[in-house]
Amino acid sequence: MASSGESPRSVMHGDGIVVLSTHKASAKEQARNAERLKSLLSEPHNKQCFECEGDVEFRTAWASVSIGVFICAGCSGLHRSLGTHISRVKSCAADDWNDDWVDNMESWGNKRASLFWEWRPPARRPTPADGRNQSRRMREFVAAKYMRRAFSAAGEAHEWRVADPLPLENGWARYADEFGRHYFHHTPSDETTWELPDAARPPPCLPVLVRTGARGWLEKKSGGHEERGKMKLLQKWDRRYFVLPAGGAELSYYKTEDDAARGEHPAGSLRCDGAEVFLKEVRDDGVHRFTIKTRERELKLRSSKREFETWASALEPIAAEVDDAPRAG
Ligand SMILES: [Zn+2]
């Protein structure tokens, strides 16, 4: 294990930069490190994916070498999408591991990393019960965790790990003994304990969902206001530029992006508080048809999968319901 009091030489977080050792492991070093990884993966916390809590084992495990956590194959994709300045992802079995990388995994691991990255515990974590919404919600969760740092302790990860003392909540502080083991001391009562007391942590973080807003082109179905017979003939899809402001709930659309940028009066708009957002159809060519439905009106839209997911995420904190499962009818 890396000695306490200094950061592993392989990894530095700070100013958003992660520098990983590029040292190429010899065959002997690789073999040794495969054994070290297997040993780390036998620890209970590391056997559960750091993000989705699914089962992880050496053969199929991935790791974020920069953050120091073990994750499943599915969540390795989420980490990759964060960018290599946040997470460097390696396969435990298929990549060649050098000593520096494994040192960092040892000095963090899922248990300690959760105390930094989930210091303020998330009140809700996406689970399989979210059904088809789970993958999108996992992506939102991971973005909230690492990009907005919605749950993390203060400061940078490498500083947090070695800070001594580290002030905590309600008069508690964390100290390190001469072997680098952490203990907790409560100044008002002079109580000392090895286990992190609940009172030393902040309450769970409720607002995971932030109104980030969104903007971009979508196709909007128009026509069909006339009598029923004519309806089908008059229907068409118009490209419109949609804007949902950050922090807002009013979705507006414009004929051009310039109109939106200049703050012109929109061609139409819809208050999305309490709306139902649901997928209508996913075509074989990947086109997603979806509906935003409020008491006043319905907007029928279509887009690529990626655009749909962007808008579903942006609308989730505002709408009463966002559903990724195609709805019949
Ligand atoms: Zn996972």
Ligand 1 mean position, distance from CA 61 (Å): 10
- The predicted pLDDT at position 14 comes to 47
- The predicted pLDDT at position 4 comes to 40
Ligand 1 mean position, distance from CA 48 (Å): 8
Matching CATH topology for 27-146 and 164-200? no
Ligand 1 mean position, distance from CA 93 (Å): 17
ipTM for this model: 1.00
- The predicted pLDDT at position 222 comes to 87
Q: How far is CA 36 from CA 43, 102, 190, 216, in A?
A: 12, 7, 39, 48
Q: Which of 307, 252, 255 is nearest to 279 (CA)?
A: 307
75 CB-side CA count, 13 A: 28
Residue 89 gets the label, from left (phi > 0), alpha (psi -120 to 50) or beta, of beta
Q: pLDDT (tens digit, 9 = 90+) per residue, 176-231?
A: 999 888 999 999 999 999 999 999 998 887 656 678 899 999 999 987 554 455 55
CB 259: neighbour CB atoms within 10 A? 18
Ligand 1 mean position, distance from CA 187 (Å): 39
**Domains of the chain by residue range:** 27-146, 164-200, 214-323
Q: pLDDT (tens digit, 9 = 90+) per residue, 80-138?
A: 999 988 999 999 999 999 999 999 999 999 999 999 999 998 888 888 788 777 888 88
| Structural domain 214-323, CATH architecture | Roll (2.30)
Distance, C-alpha 249 to centroid of its chain? 22
Ligand 1 mean position, distance from CA 113 (Å): 15
Query: What's the mean pLDDT when you consider all of the chain?
Result: 87
Which top CATH class is 164-200?
Answer: mainly beta
Q: pLDDT (tens digit, 9 = 90+) per residue, 280-329?
A: 999 999 999 999 999 889 999 999 998 998 899 899 888 888 887 777 65
Altogether, the residues listed in the chain come to a count of 329
Q: How far is CA 125 from CA 156, 265, 307, in A?
A: 23, 40, 24
Ligand 1 mean position, distance from CA 131 (Å): 15
In the numeric block, the tokens 């922090």 are attached to: 247
Ligand 1 mean position, distance from CA 282 (Å): 25
Sign, Cα dihedral of 109, 131, 91, 67: negative
| Structural domain 27-146, CATH architecture | Orthogonal Bundle (1.10)
Q: CA-CA distance, 317 to 303, in Å (whole number)?
A: 21
Q: Which range is least confidently modeled, 12-16, 182-186, 261-265, 315-319? A: 12-16
- The predicted pLDDT at position 150 comes to 87
